[in-house]
């Protein structure tokens, strides 16, 4: 009997704990505690995730500072000339750094942090600095002007190559120089918009042919870039045409244009075996004789780029001598232009 009474009392005590006001307050306190713990855990996790890349970047800067010291040590025994060969002072590969020294008067050192961020230093500024994102096409102000600047983080340490846009009137600031056409077209430069654009107008129903003179060399790889726009739907055939051929040359691509929609065409790495004369080069052909008279084809920002080699075609965008990092080989807007990437 005593056991039954004792069990009844225990049951009553538990029921009261879960149904009286004090018990309710205890449960609420537990819930609040759980929420607070969760919030604290979230703050700690966020802090940890923020600290990790910060620590990785600090480590990268420290490693790059060691590389800078090694370069300066090497320079001291090389007659003041900077050199990429600093292996006697530090194992560059062990820290994942790359030193660029394309001439004795400068160097650039690069290192990628485990966070994914790149840092650089140079003879002009030995303090490791983060490379802006996205990777800039032009050198930062604190980077030496006479030292090569990589085109991207992936290209750091890759051999730099020189590329030449051999079309000497690339944005048609020099009027219609180096442009010819067959009798199906008339052409002129329109400078009424935000730049100079070559406009070719269909004047008869025969296939039209517009030629852009580019002095190509035999057995050389070329990349072609241009912005094209027609006021009607049409297909344009693009060819490299040596002057000794009676036909239209090597067809490098056919592109479909949608009416009144600009299209930037990029055709990389096509090698020709025979050299055109300076009067020939790239040919834009429309074979559709149903194109209405008066229709127009606009051409702008033309680049016929001689690649460094067939296995290293140019992969950047349009450039001429006015593009940052590039230069004219002669008179502005009337000569070839070069860029190193």
State the pLDDT at residue 277. Answer: 53
Query: What does the pLDDT read at residue 304?
Result: 93
Cα radius of gyration rounded to whole Å, the chain? 34
User: What pLDDT was estimated at residue 259?
Assistant: 95
Q: How far is CA 198 from CA 70, 132, 188, 191, 243, in A?
A: 54, 36, 6, 9, 23
> What gap in Å lies between CA 147 and CA 156, rounded to an integer?
13
Per-residue pLDDT of the chain (341 residues; tens, 9 = 90+): 555 445 545 555 545 544 555 444 566 666 656 665 655 655 554 454 445 678 889 988 888 888 888 777 777 666 666 654 555 545 555 556 677 766 667 788 888 888 889 999 988 888 999 999 888 888 899 998 877 788 788 777 666 677 899 999 999 999 999 998 988 999 999 987 667 899 999 998 888 989 898 888 878 888 999 999 999 999 999 988 765 444 556 788 899 999 999 999 999 888 777 665 545 688 898 988 888 999 999 999 999 998 866 667 787 889 999 987 788 999 999 999 988 77
Q: How far is CA 116 from the centre of its chain?
A: 17
Provide the residue ranges of all domains of the chain, joining segments of one domain with +. 59-159, 165-340
Closest CA to 262 of 294, 292, 289, 301: 301
CA distances from 214 to 30, 157, 225, 277, 280 (A): 81, 32, 13, 8, 6
Phi/psi for 76 (5° steps) reads: -65, -25
First to last CA, the chain: 97
Question: What's the chain look like in SS3?
Answer: CHHHHHHHHHHHHHHHHHHCHHHHHHHHHHHHHHHHHHHHHHHHHHHHHHHHHHHHHHHHHHHHHHHHHHHHHHHHCCCCCCCCCCCCCCCHHHHCEEEECCCCCCCEEEEECCCCCEEEEECCCCCCEECCCCCCCCCCCCCCCCCCCCCCHHHCCCCCCEEEECCCCCCCCCCCCCEEECCCEEEEEECCCCCCEEEEEECCCCCEEEEEECCCCCCEEEEEEEEEEECCCEEEEEEEECCCCCCCCEEEEEEEECCCCCEEEEEEEEEECCCCCCCCEEEEEECCCCCCCCCEEEEEEEEEEECCECCECCCCCCCCCCCCCEEECCCCCCCCEEEEC
Distance CA 339, CA 164 (A): 7
Does the domain at 165-340 match CATH 2.60.120.260? Answer given as: yes
pLDDT at residue 48, rounded to an integer? 45
- Rounded CA gap, 98 and 109, in Å? 6
Nearest-CA neighbor of 137 among 152, 116, 153, 120?
152
Neighbours of 134 (CB within 10 A): 7
State how far the Cα of 216 lies from the Cα of 231, in Å rounded to an integer. 31
Contact 76, 70 (CB under 8 A): no
pLDDT for 138: 82
């Amino acid at each position: 009997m005593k056991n039954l009474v004792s069990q009844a009392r225990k049951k009553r005590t538990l029921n009261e704990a879960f149904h009286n006001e004090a018990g309710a307050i205890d449960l609420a306190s537990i819930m609040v505690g759980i929420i607070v713990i969760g919030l604290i855990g979230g703050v700690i996790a966020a802090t940890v995730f923020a600290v990790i890349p910060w620590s990785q970047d600090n480590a990268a800067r420290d490693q790059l500072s060691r590389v800078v010291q090694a370069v300066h040590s090497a320079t001291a025994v090389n007659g003041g000339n900077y050199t990429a060969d600093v292996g006697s002072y530090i194992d560059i590969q062990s820290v994942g750094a790359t030193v660029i020294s394309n001439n004795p008067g400068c160097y650039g050192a690069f290192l990628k942090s485990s966070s994914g961020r790149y840092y650089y230093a140079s003879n002009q500024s030995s303090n490791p600095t983060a490379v802006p994102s996205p990777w800039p096409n032009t050198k930062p102000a604190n980077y030496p002007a006479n030292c090569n600047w990589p085109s991207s983080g992936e290209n750091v340490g890759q051999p730099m190559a020189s590329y030449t846009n051999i079309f000497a009137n690339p944005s048609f600031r020099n009027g219609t120089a180096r442009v010819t056409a067959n009798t199906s077209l008339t052409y002129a430069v329109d400078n009424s918009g935000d730049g100079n654009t070559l406009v070719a107008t269909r004047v008869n129903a025969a296939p039209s042919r517009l030629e852009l003179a580019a002095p190509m060399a035999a057995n050389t790889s070329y990349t072609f870039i241009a912005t094209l726009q027609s006021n009607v739907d049409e297909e344009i055939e693009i060819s490299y045409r040596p002057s000794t051929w009676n036909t239209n040359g090597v067809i490098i691509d056919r592109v479909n244009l949608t009416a009144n929609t600009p299209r930037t065409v990029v055709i990389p790495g096509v090698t020709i075996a025979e050299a055109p004369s300076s009067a020939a080069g790239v040919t834009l052909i429309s074979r559709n004789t149903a194109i209405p008279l008066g229709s127009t084809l606009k051409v702008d920002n033309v680049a016929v780029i001689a690649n460094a080699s067939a296995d290293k075609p140019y992969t950047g965008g349009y450039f001429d001598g006015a593009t940052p990092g590039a230069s004219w080989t002669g008179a502005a807007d009337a000569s070839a232009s070069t860029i190193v990437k």
